Amino acid sequence: MSKMQIKLTVNGRERELLAEPRELLIHLLREELNLTGPHIGCDTSHCGACTVEMDGKSVKSCTVFAAQANGAEVTTIEGLAEPGSLNVLQSAFREHHGLQCGFCTPGMITRAHRLLQENPDPSEEEVRFGMAGNLCRCTGYQNIVKSILAAATELNAAKEAAE
């Protein structure tokens, strides 16, 4: 099967490459573009370690073909903050010990980013439900929830201050 031309915007930068249609977006990101933050934790679309943002949606990039992503806008963990700085969620995960091995973290934070866009002031229950597509083997989730709630509080305070 022939390779096809894939054009997509990743972390704000237009990229053009050749890929087999069957190549999964996660492999395209990791192997072609060297964005190795998103991880692969399963082969059944459960774990969410490969979560990236695609056209304003949290998607598991292990369940999207490169061909489907043609023309899409993708953000990975590498694109969430300005180089050399941390975004609010990244700081909060550090502050509140929301990670241990760090393998689920890129997917967790990318998903949490979208969750807070859609629900800027979630309850604990809403955070747990909104993060249910992301598995973690280390933290027991408690500190991940704390991190996300803290980030929400900080974002809301900043928004209020700006108004």
**Phi, psi angle pair for 73, to nearest 5°:** -110, 120
Using the minimum distance from each CB to another protein, give the nearer residue, 58 or 147: 58
Using the minimum distance from each CB to another protein, give the nearer residue, 13 or 57: 57
The minimum distance between CB 93 and another protein, in angstroms, equals 18
Using the minimum distance from each CB to another protein, give the nearer residue, 46 or 97: 46
The minimum distance between CB 5 and another protein, in angstroms, equals 12
Contact 135, 41 (CB under 8 A): yes
Q: What does the binding site for another protein look like in residue numbers (CB under 8 A)?
A: 1, 4, 20-22, 24, 40, 43-46, 48, 51, 57-60, 62-65, 67-68, 70, 111, 115, 130-133
Contact 75, 87 (CB under 8 A): no
Q: How far apart are CA 30 and CA 72, in angstroms?
A: 17
Using the minimum distance from each CB to another protein, give the nearer residue, 22 or 97: 22
Q: Could you tell me which residues are beta bridge partners of residue 6?
A: 17
Distance (Å) of CA 68 to CA 65, 113, 120: 5, 23, 29
The minimum distance between CB 19 and another protein, in angstroms, equals 10
